[in-house]
Chain A
Amino acid sequence: MKLIKLLAGAAIAVGLATSATAQDKTKVGFVYVGPVGDGGWTYEHDQGRLAVVEEFSDQVETVFVENVAEGPDAERVITQMALDGADLIFTTSFGFMDPTINVAQKFPDVKFEHATGYKRAENVSTYSARFYEGRAVQGHIAGKMTESNIIGYIGSYPIPEVIRGINSAYLHAKKVNPDVEFKIVWVYTWFDPQKEADAAKTLIDQGADVVLQHTDSTAPQAAAQEAGGVITFGQASDMAQYAPMPRVSSIIDNWAPYYVDRTRAVIDGTWESVDTWDGIDTGMVEIGEITDAVPADVQEEALGMIEAMRAGEYHPFTGPINKQDGSVWLAEGEVADDGTLAGMNFYIDGLKGEIPQ
């Protein structure tokens, strides 16, 4: 029993040694949860990969595997990349967290970067973007533009990142339109055009004339276009093919600068485990062009918000804000701390319904 373990360990070590010496190129691996053609989340990560290729051309080699299921399959794919000699591996879905940590323990010389998780190690960094800043802009535009005062929201999974987005959008919609009501549908998937389209149609049937989505495909955009008179926002990617209507703006995840930076750090040997959470200020979160379907004054207000957040003058979660149960969360002028935001598991005052438990 011991002997086999020893042999396996030795074999891994040999594999590592050969892979480290046999190459001069830095090998960067990417593990994607969806297909690169999803037009949203995975598409933008792959754009980041292409930016790395462009920046370093001959110095790096990139590899990727798409459509990887979260769980044992992810662990196998990540291990495989490490065995094949990757020096840096980006795992780009929350569900890859435990697999990434497990593989990282076996390959101490390989650097890992896990998106949207909270477990770190000597050779595992985490990174995420403050999408809630973009949600604030969406909420503002949505609150101003809705005529039915019903805003539909397609939630993927009830995890803090998604709940943060709902709270931020609602807060800013309510600010400009006290009568606004949010209807939320949970689809339990990041990418499933059929389910996303069904959810969008349901929301539109219930009177929503704005549909916000936290899922990755363009199916809700298509559903809104078909229904007519409904506005949407591009999610993760610009989704400009649906502009100027229904898509009136978008949140774009721009991973390229981060991926280029981290790859350079590995090449230079300066890589360290960090926890990155960037927003509009560094350009990790971008707001796609606001189309002319939005009235000029609303456009201007939205642009003003973006500038204020870029300059660090405005935080979307600034008190007074109460929780759904009426208790005080943030007092007048108080700003939410990152710890609470990172683990956010409550709705703010005014939102109806419960977070699925």
Chain B
Amino acid sequence: MIRLEKRPEPSRTMSYATPLLAVLATMVFGGFLFAFLGKDPIEAIITIFWDPLFGEFAFFYRPQLLVKAAPLILIAVGLALGFKAGIWNIGAEGQYIVGAICGAGVGLAFYPLESWVIFPLMALAGAFGGWAWAMIPAFLRVKFGTNEILVSLMLVYVAEQLLASMALGAMRNPEGRGFPGSRNLSQYESAHNAELIAGTGMHWGVVAALISVIFAYVLLTRHRLGFAIRVTGEAPRAARFGGVNPGRLILFCLGLSGLLAGLAGMLEVSGPAGQITIDFNVGYGFTAIIVAFLGRLNPLGILFAGLLMALTYIGGDIAQSQLGLPAAAIQVFQGMLLFFLLALDLFTNYRLGFGREAAA
């Protein structure tokens, strides 16, 4: 007889092994899926995981990997700090949008003036926008005890409407022949988040993502605040006795994750995306939630998880065009990754027991 036994304490080994096992399981079962669709599973897996990194055109895909992963990592790092403390910011997508609007707004307000101060000002505005948007659920939670999950999520839809209104109205390109969308910031040097080294994909968003990983790592392991975050998540009562002010922690965690999401939005709109359009947001704020958990809420883990997620997107698109795999199959494949991660996570806290249950 097989049954689940609760481990006396969570297994460290399993906690590190589950992401790897989840990736392996996804490859195996994804391979079955591709085989059922009449494609060579080995070739499909190689196309998705190997070609972007080491294939013929890796010189193009590697930089793209950074471009795609940077906003995911930047947002996920902020989210993870809150998640660790049991503070659930589900609305990073909204903070990302508002950050982009504020950042682009500052840039467009200066157009066509060229000056080195414009870009830093945009970054400040973007970070502030994201922070302010996250402060709404934070304040409501602290003051009135509302549920931050619902409030932050609903504010995403408000932000989307705001984005549409900006693209159609206030920020519409006056030279755009009546079409919606702002001026392209990539054609406005002072506001353009260009590649720092051409051809590498390294733009300020990648730099910010790396700094945020280091910053969060230091915060969690070396700083009193990081300790407060961890204790609050694991034992809220103990944290309170230990002198942690829960209200302030909520304001800090939601505020910081909003700030990073806003910064990510600003760096995206001024860089890879280039302009405010109705469809500017493509779900980075939601995907970052998956990235945060895939990375075990650990900043270094998130770095790898973000890159892995980006790899499946880029590799998935290659597989579509080269092998004719449908987009839905790629999405199922990505879904499997999270599914197996959550399923295998069970074994961090439980183990399989064989035979009869031991007498209590």
Contacts and interface: CB of A to CB of B under 8 A. Distances in A.
B328 A35 contact: yes
Given A67-B327, A70-B279, A81 B321 contact: yes
B321 A70 contact: no
A4 B328 contact: no
A15 interface: yes
10 contacts: A64-B320, A64-B324, A67-B327, A72-B68, A72-B273, A73-B317, A80-B61, A95-B277, A158-B168, A345-B178
Contacts of B168: 158, 356-357
B199 A8 contact: yes
Interface in A159-192: 159-160, 188
A71 B280 contact: yes
A343 B177 contact: yes
Given A8-B198, A70-B279, A84-B321, A160 B273 contact: no
B178 A71 contact: no
Interface of A: 1, 4-5, 7-8, 11-12, 15, 29, 35-36, 63-73, 75-77, 79-81, 83-84, 94-95, 98, 118, 157-160, 188, 342-345, 356-357
Given A157-B278, A188-B278, 4 more contacts: A4-B197, A76-B64, A80-B57, A84-B322
Specify which of A77, A84, A98, A118 lies most central, judged by the most chain B CB atoms within 10 Å of its CB. Answer: A98
B327 A77 contact: no
Given A8-B198, A70-B279, A343 B164 contact: no
A204 B59 CA distance: 54
B9 interface: no
Interface string B324-337: 10111000000000
B98 to A, nearest CB: 17
Interface residues of B, number: 43
Interface of B: 56-57, 59-61, 64, 67-68, 164-165, 168-169, 172, 177-180, 184, 197-200, 268, 272-275, 277-280, 282, 313-314, 317-318, 320-322, 324, 326-328
A344 B179 CA distance: 9
Nearest first, the 5 A-B pairs at minimum CB distance are A345-B178, A8-B199, A72-B272, A67-B327, A357-B169
A15 B57 CA distance: 8
Given A76-B317, A80-B318, A69 B282 contact: yes
Given A69-B279, A159-B179, A83 B60 contact: yes
Contacts of A80: 57, 60-61, 317-318, 321
A344 B327 CA distance: 35
Contact of B179 (A72, A94, A356): A94
B181 to A, nearest CB: 8
Contacts of A81: 321
A220 to B, nearest CB: 20
Contacts of B200: 4
B322 A63 contact: yes
Contacts of B322: 63, 84
A235 to B, nearest CB: 19
B198 A160 contact: no
Contacts of A188: 164, 278
A75 B272 CA distance: 9
Given A8-B59, A95-B277, A159-B178, A64 B321 contact: yes
A71 B198 contact: no
A63 B321 contact: yes
B59 A11 contact: yes
A21 to B, nearest CB: 15
A66 B67 contact: no
B301 to A, nearest CB: 25
Contact of B178 (A5, A77, A95, A344): A344
Contacts of A356: 164-165, 168-169
Nearest to B323: A63
B198 A159 contact: no
Contacts of B164: 188, 356
B199 A5 contact: yes
Contacts of A72: 67-68, 268, 272-273
A7 B59 CA distance: 9
A196 to B, nearest CB: 16
A118 B177 contact: yes
A344 B279 CA distance: 21
Nearest to B199: A8
A356 B163 CA distance: 12
A8 B321 CA distance: 23
